[in-house]
Chain A
Amino acid sequence: MLRGIATLLMFQLIGESLVFLSKIPVPGPVVGLVLLFVVLQIGRRAGHAPFPQVEAAANTLLTNLGLLFVPAGVGVVSLWGVLKSEAAPIAIVLVVSAAVTLAITVWTFIAARRYFDKKWGA
């Protein structure tokens, strides 16, 4: 487990370092995510799978992902001044955008799957 945590931290560190050096506009942890994915795939091809340490650490973090949102979320109290004056427009954008994104994504997914199934005769 500890090795798994160290692995995640190391990949984040590598990601942050690469972003700092290259100035690419992508967050460091996302670069770390992509690199870890590539390394895991290479590791599996080379016959090193499974990776119980990394899997255990990742599983612990991701099953409690909601907890990690809480500290920033409580910031709503200190931001109340900003939010109060714009509450109605923010609420409209929030709800309409979420509904539109859900609907268009689900339709696109179904339509694309149908199209590619027909094309490749799955």
Chain B
Amino acid sequence: MRSPVDLWVYLSTSPLIWLTLTVCTWIGAVELSVRLKRNPLVNPVMTSIIVLSIVMTVFHIPYEKFFAGAQFVHFLLGPATVAIAVPLYLQWDEVKKVLAPIGVALAVGSLVAVLSVMVLGWLVGLPRDVLISFLPKSATAGVAMAISSSLGGNPSLTAVLVILTGITGALIVTPMMNRMGIRDYAARGFAVGLTSHGIGTARAYDVDPTAGLFAGMAMALNAIATSIIVPLAARLLLGS
């Protein structure tokens, strides 16, 4: 008979336990979020990351070991990015009606998302490698990580910054827009989808269906716009 310690040693080296734990933690985090009426303070992405990080730290599990299991989920970011074509296609008749304002808001918003990081980063004196990893932070994680690694940034750092941006936007959008007196839910949704990608879009759907629709649209379009703007901005940054 083997001891439970042997079992732990066996399981902790296999990817299975970390994959199972990741998926189950997520389900629990969504459940918690639903129970608390989708309060942005218990954003399921944030609570999942906190819970798993605590487990990793307490049990001294190196990130590589955890990722060996979690990578099966992580891999789906690519197909999920391609999947954004489907809502864009389904909503195209809606998009077409407001194509001109969407185009203008996308161009301006996407530029502000990237340039604000460059200007603020320079003001507070962020190192250049952190700055490069920071630039695509408003694009969805799969796209942002691909941009970052192609420019010599750190894709893991980019992922963390993307997620933190997503959570920040989802947290501040509702109080901020209410204080600004903006009741146009299409505009509110578009802004949060552009700024905070999938996490912002999930938040927008919690608040209002129209907001969710425009948020999803903004996320899809900004994935494309960011992947064009950031390499140009980085060239400017590295050339100086």
| A residues whose Cβ falls under 8 Å from a Cβ of B | 5, 8-9, 11-12, 15, 25-30, 32-34, 36-37, 40-41, 44, 54-55, 57-59, 61-62, 64-79, 82-83, 86, 88-90, 92-106, 108-110, 112-113, 115-116
Summarize B's interface: helix, strand, loop or mixed.
Answer: helix
Once the chains bind, are B121 and A106 in contact (CB under 8 Å)? no
Measured in the bound complex, the distance between the Cα atoms of B90 and A109 in whole Å is 22
Residues of A contacting B141 with CB < 8 Å? 68-69, 72
Known: A65-B140, A65-B201. 10 other contacts (CB 8 A): A25-B228, A26-B228, A29-B82, A30-B81, A41-B89, A62-B87, A72-B160, A73-B49, A74-B70, A101-B112
Interface residues in B, total, Cβ within 8 A: 109
Given B143, B154, B157, B194, which contacts A101 in the complex, CB threshold below 8 Å? B194
Contacts of A113 on B, CB cut-off 8 Å? 98, 101, 187
Inter-chain CA distance A29–B140, complex, in Å, is 11
A-B pairs with beta carbons under 8 Å apart, 10 shown: A8-B83, A29-B79, A58-B85, A62-B84, A62-B198, A67-B26, A69-B199, A94-B137, A105-B105, A113-B98
Alpha-carbon distance between A41 and B89 when the two chains are bound, in angstroms: 7
Q: Which residues of B contact A (CB under 8 A)?
A: 22-23, 25-26, 30, 44-45, 48-49, 52-53, 56-57, 62-63, 66-67, 70-71, 73-74, 76-90, 92, 98, 100-102, 104-105, 108-109, 112-113, 116-117, 120-121, 124-127, 130, 134, 137-138, 140-143, 145-147, 150, 154-157, 159-166, 168-169, 172-173, 176-177, 180, 182, 184, 186-188, 190-192, 194-196, 198-199, 201-202, 216, 218, 220, 223-224, 227-228, 231
